[in-house]
Amino acid sequence: MRKSAAVVVAMALAATLAGCGTVGGDGDLADDWRPMPSAAAFVPELGCHTGAVAENASRKDYAVVECAESHVSETIYVGQLSGAIANEKSLPLATNPALAGAYTECSGRADQLLGSSWLDFLLELRLILPTAEAWLGGARWYGCDLLQPTSYEDETYSKRDAALKPDSALRMGCYQTKVNGSTADLTEIACASTHNTEYVGSFVATATQPPVSKDDWQALHDRCMGLVAKYVGVSYSQADDRYLDVAGTASENFAAGRKGVRCFLWLRNAKMAGSAKGRKTAVPRYK
């Protein structure tokens, strides 16, 4: 009985090996199995998100909700980095000058969405990159996200229940400004109320480094005063004689493309009610 059993086992084993040999067609098991499909690389979708997406985001961070639902941020464009920055072995810092092209693309997309410069709206534009792990895995996407700050000076964000579009309610308006040393604190106020500051326009600086010296800042103030003159409806020399300006910019990530400058008419201790736009010398001289 033992011998017969051994024969049966041997025959069964032979049949099994013969069957295995037919899988690949040539008896080589190593090269004929189809490779397992790789996991699809994550790329963000356009849409809205319940929170402010981190500057280095994962699939979980970028979970999309309907824009009609309560949300904080909105991804308006997703692109792919190319050139030298894409060849970096490790994830680049947000301050890397090679990211300026991506930020400029984001800025242009935001302008298209809103119908004019996004800087003229109470919005913040963020450039989002993959996580360090995803970068090592080959991810080279970047996302362009818009958020609505609670106020001009605030670092918290308002919740929205609609997708962004041209909206006059979000446009920069009038403020009451207090100066603390070299810093100006702007608080929103209705233009119908008395105020000493009013938004007049914006521009993108051409310098490659953030303003540091007195001359650096003066160059920005000169351009802002030109916008003050145009907004009020007087000559540059009249504006320079009668009014002050506030030039607001973020030095953080300046070299990486974040070079927008917001400009304000400032009356210091003088006040006015109603908009200053087009009122010429009816706008009181600063004091």
C-beta separation of 286 from 244 below 8 A = yes
Break the chain into its structural domains and give their ranges: 47-147, 172-282
Give the tens place of pLDDT for each residue, 268-279: 999 999 999 999
Proportion of the chain above pLDDT 70, given as a percent: 86
Q: Which residues have C-beta within 8 Å of that of residue 31, sequence separation ≥ 6?
A: 24
State both tokens at 253: 């990530």
Give the tens place of pLDDT for each residue, 14-24: 333 334 443 34
- Average pLDDT in the chain: 87
pTM here is 0.83
- What beta strand segments (E) does the chain contain? 47-49, 56-57, 73-80, 124-130, 141-147, 174-180, 183-189, 197-204, 244-249, 260-266
State both tokens at 171: 């446009």
Give the tens place of pLDDT for each residue, 109-146: 999 999 999 999 999 999 999 999 999 999 999 999 99
Quote the pLDDT of residue 208: 84
Quote the pLDDT of residue 36: 39
Quote the pLDDT of residue 183: 78
Which range of 11-25, 35-49, 83-97 scores highest in mean pLDDT? It is 83-97
Selection from 214, 209, 225 nearest residue 259 by Cα: 209
pLDDT bin (cut points 50, 70, 90) of residue 40 is: low
CA 181 to CA 266: how far, in whole Å?
Answer: 16
Question: Cα dihedral sign for 155, 161, 165, 168?
Answer: negative
- Of 33 and 97, the structure prediction assigns the larger pLDDT to 97
Average the pLDDT over 241-269 and give the result.
92
Give the tens place of pLDDT for each residue, 43-61: 999 999 999 999 999 999 8
Burial of 264 (0-12, 13-18, 19+ CB in 10 A): buried
